[in-house]
Chains A and B, each alone.
Chain A
Amino acid sequence: MTGAGPTTTVLPAVQAWSGARLTARSMRNGLLATAVLASAVVVLALLFGGVSLSPSRIVSGIGPDRLIFLHVRLPRVLLAAWVGAALAVAGAGLQPMLRNPLASPDIIGVSGGAALAAVVSLALLPVGFFGEMFVPLIAFAGAVASSVIVYRLSLVRGRAEPYTQILVGVIFNTVAASLILVVNAMVDLLRSQSIVFWLMGGIELHSYRVLVLVAVLIVAGTLVLIRESPSLNLLALGDEGAEQLGVDIAASRRRVFAASSLLVGAAVSLTGVITFVGLIVPHVLRRILGSDSRLLVPASFFGGAAFLVLCDLVARVAVAPSELPVGAITALTGGPFFVYLLRRRVRPMNESEQ
């Protein structure tokens, strides 16, 4: 029983309890299932849209189909996938770190700071000044700055308490939103339009170069969170409990916060604020795959991609020829679905059916 010597009792055939904990098999199945789902949704979204494309014409290059596919459909779906993945992974990291099921990327203050930075630059700089990556860079810088500010402000006696972090993040977001309103009131009509559009959040069209850049950042952030996922499990026992099990919670918190800020900053800088993805996707996956962060974090990557791509598809086709704002779709689909899951009380582990 203790470290003083090996156990001398004869062990019975060890139970695996495979229904109640994370096994190699459930890990493999969970990742496979979510990856396949994400791929299927991406293919679906590439095929359908406001304009119907024919695969043969895309390949042969006759007509505008290939142009539309390469320059509109594909970059848009890819961006939705990456941003959805980033937001969901950030949510999957923040919820256990803050020990709060309602935690989401929106509450750590990063999206507010990014939006404020973008809005200020839109207000101050002349129209048409922007290079391709200017506003996203400013927004990203705003995200990084605000994450540092929020983190510093939330330190209590040198430690980042979850409760304080949530409070500071929410307050920071509120202040940022108010400042955005102030700026919006002071600028002329034309800039005001662009500010409002930036705030609404939407899957914009960016070049492949930007997409690759963002993908690098998102992969980096995701890898950090995957590495921290064992510690995320232990954080459920409380700060003391996790510390007693050997977790350096200050360092772990710092890394999770930094990675989440990176993910959210990268996402928000390109698409504006899209709510709900980081909240809903980890929750839904937790109900189906269980709470173990070692599976939940990577699974959220694929789950988030699938979710946002699907929402974007709906946004594009539901009221064609017009398009709906994708943030409305995420809220409208995510919310009720989550209520439905809560009522069904799905058992946490169901991987034997895979």
Chain B
Amino acid sequence: MSRRCSRPRAGCLAALLVICISAAPQRCSAASAAEAGAAGAGVVGEPNPSSAVDQPAGGPLMERKTRVASRVVSLVPALTETVRALGAGDRLVGVSDYDDSPSQTPSLPRVGTFLAPVVERVLALQPDAVLTSPTPANENAVRAIERAGVRVVVIRNEGSLAALRRAIARVAELLARRREGQRLLGAIDAQIERARGLAKRRLQSAGKDEDGTDRRPRVAVVVGREPLVLAGPGSYLGELVDICGGRNIAAAGGGRWPHVGLEAMLASQPEVIVDLSMGSERLGSRERLRSYWGRFPSMPAVAHHRLYVGAADLFQRPGPRIGEAALALVAMIYPPVQS
């Protein structure tokens, strides 16, 4: 027996109404964008612009798409770094709450995070491009920003090195700094190759057997501790481990950021642990991490003090400093011999 049979007519009417509304084609957002899009350069400053900014006449959609971004809001710190590394840092008008690198201009307005952007503040800055990563968590916000006529550039950075290179290229194209982009990529590649070479040399000097015994140190890159998440082979960190001559203990399971049981990690006996789980530096965090891992002296990494904490910023932002990260990692896996 139908549960709503007591109000058949009203229920059917409501259902009909619902279907009509859902099926109606959505208003073209380009039209609304043309009539209300943000204009060009204005005064960068507080999110309550007092200067009157003209409404543009609005051009065809094609022209808008290829327009060079001149007022950029970046919701992802890695992308912020990329913009700066491409020499376009002056075009930034807003950054995410996680952008806390002290050396860079701290006075840029914060607009939330890529998981939860504060759309009002984003729009108040009147950007012409918003850089973000794809995540279901911010889809509603992204759509709202697009409905308001602001271009949102979703840079897919699933986590592999190739994706990272593509992201840098995409940002460079957006900013019309292709040349700088090529240069940056070249520099990164050079650093990675140098790291690779260093690793190879140090492994050879350690004496690798001819029959192919794998003498590479077993490495664990910890991204999260509770639950325990490691960098898998599909992630850029996993690739770096490989490039830097380490053996990723999470390689067997595959994937990018696998959840690994603590027992499995203990059983795999990592010789090097890089713990990035604390995020940015906080007072006492290093000590807490060390005491946490100190409970498991059965792991060679703990017994021989090959536990590296901190430097999370460098490793956790898949951006222009990835080459630096590679060099840092190779120093962790193969510490330079003090002679």
Task: Decide if A51 touches B120 in the complex (CB within 8 Å).
Answer: yes
Q: Which residue of B lies closest to A197 (CB)?
A: B137
Contacts of B6 in A (CB 8 A): 251, 254-255
| B332 interface hit (Cβ, 8 Å) | no
Q: How far is the CA of A6 from the CA of B291 in the complex (A)?
A: 89
Q: How far is the CA of A217 from the CA of B3 in the complex (A)?
A: 16
Q: Which of B36, B49, B115 contacts A197 (CB 8 A)?
A: B115
Interface residues of A in 192-247 (CB under 8 A from B): 193-194, 197-198, 202, 204-207, 209, 212-213, 216-217, 220, 223-224
Q: How far is the CB of B277 from chain A (nearest CB, A)?
A: 11
Q: Which of A75, A130, A148 contacts B144 (CB 8 A)?
A: A75
Q: Which of B112, B140, B144 contacts A322 (CB 8 A)?
A: B112
Task: Decide if B123 touches A72 in the complex (CB within 8 Å).
Answer: yes
Contacts of A204 in B (CB 8 A): 140-141
Q: Which of A64, A185, A207 contacts B126 (CB 8 A)?
A: A64
Q: Which residue of B lies closest to A219 (CB)?
A: B14
Task: Decide if B137 touches A193 in the complex (CB within 8 Å).
Answer: yes
Which residue numbers of B lie inside 8 Å of A, CB to CB? 3-4, 6-7, 10-11, 14, 17-18, 21-22, 24, 26, 36, 38, 47-49, 52-53, 55, 97, 109-112, 115-116, 118-121, 123-126, 134-137, 139-141, 143-145, 147-149, 154, 223-224, 227, 229, 255-259
Q: How far is the CA of A185 from the CA of B228 in the complex (A)?
A: 10
Which residue numbers of A lie inside 8 Å of B, CB to CB? 49-52, 61-64, 66-68, 70-73, 75, 122, 127-128, 130, 132-133, 135, 148, 151, 185-186, 188-191, 193-194, 197-198, 202, 204-207, 209, 212-213, 216-217, 220, 223-224, 251, 254-255, 257-258, 321-323
Task: Decide if A50 touches B140 in the complex (CB within 8 Å).
Answer: no
Q: How far is the CA of A190 from the CA of B255 in the complex (A)?
A: 12
Q: Indicate whether A61 sits within 8 Å of B55 (C-beta atoms), given known contacts A72-B120, A75-B144.
A: yes
Task: Decide if A207 touches B143 in the complex (CB within 8 Å).
Answer: yes
Task: Decide if A50 touches B52 in the complex (CB within 8 Å).
Answer: no
Contacts of B22 in A (CB 8 A): 133, 209, 213
Main secondary structure of the interface of A (DSSP, over half): helix
Number of A-B contacts (CB under 8 A): 147
Task: Decide if A189 touches B48 in the complex (CB within 8 Å).
Answer: no
Q: How far is the CB of A341 from chain B (nearest CB, A)?
A: 33
Task: Decide if B3 touches A254 in the complex (CB within 8 Å).
Answer: yes
Task: Decide if A205 touches B38 in the complex (CB within 8 Å).
Answer: no
Q: How far is the CB of A6 from chain B (nearest CB, A)?
A: 35
Q: Indicate whether A67 sits within 8 Å of B123 (C-beta atoms), given known contacts A50-B118, A216-B18, A323-B118.
A: yes
Task: Decide if B3 touches A321 in the complex (CB within 8 Å).
Answer: no
Q: How far is the CB of A221 from chain B (nearest CB, A)?
A: 9
Q: How far is the CA of A70 from the CA of B144 in the complex (A)?
A: 10
Task: Decide if B48 touches A51 in the complex (CB within 8 Å).
Answer: yes
Task: Decide if B47 touches A217 in the complex (CB within 8 Å).
Answer: no
Q: Which residue of A lies closest to B48 (CB)?
A: A52
Q: How far is the CA of A174 from the CA of B149 in the complex (A)?
A: 42
Q: A185-B227, A205-B144, A254-B3 are in contact. List 13 more A-B contacts (CB 8 A).
A: A51-B47, A63-B53, A64-B49, A67-B148, A127-B135, A133-B22, A135-B136, A189-B257, A190-B135, A194-B115, A204-B140, A207-B143, A216-B14
Q: How far is the CB of B47 from chain A (nearest CB, A)?
A: 6
Q: How far is the CB of A236 from chain B (nearest CB, A)?
A: 22
Contact sample, A vs B, 20 pairs, CB 8 Å cutoff: A50-B118, A50-B121, A51-B121, A64-B123, A64-B125, A70-B148, A71-B145, A72-B123, A128-B136, A185-B259, A189-B229, A209-B22, A220-B14, A251-B6, A254-B6, A255-B4, A258-B3, A321-B118, A322-B112, A323-B112
Q: Which of B17, B18, B144 contacts A72 (CB 8 A)?
A: B144
Task: Decide if B124 touches A64 in the complex (CB within 8 Å).
Answer: yes
Q: Which residue of A lies closest to B17 (CB)?
A: A216
Task: Decide if B14 touches A205 in the complex (CB within 8 Å).
Answer: no
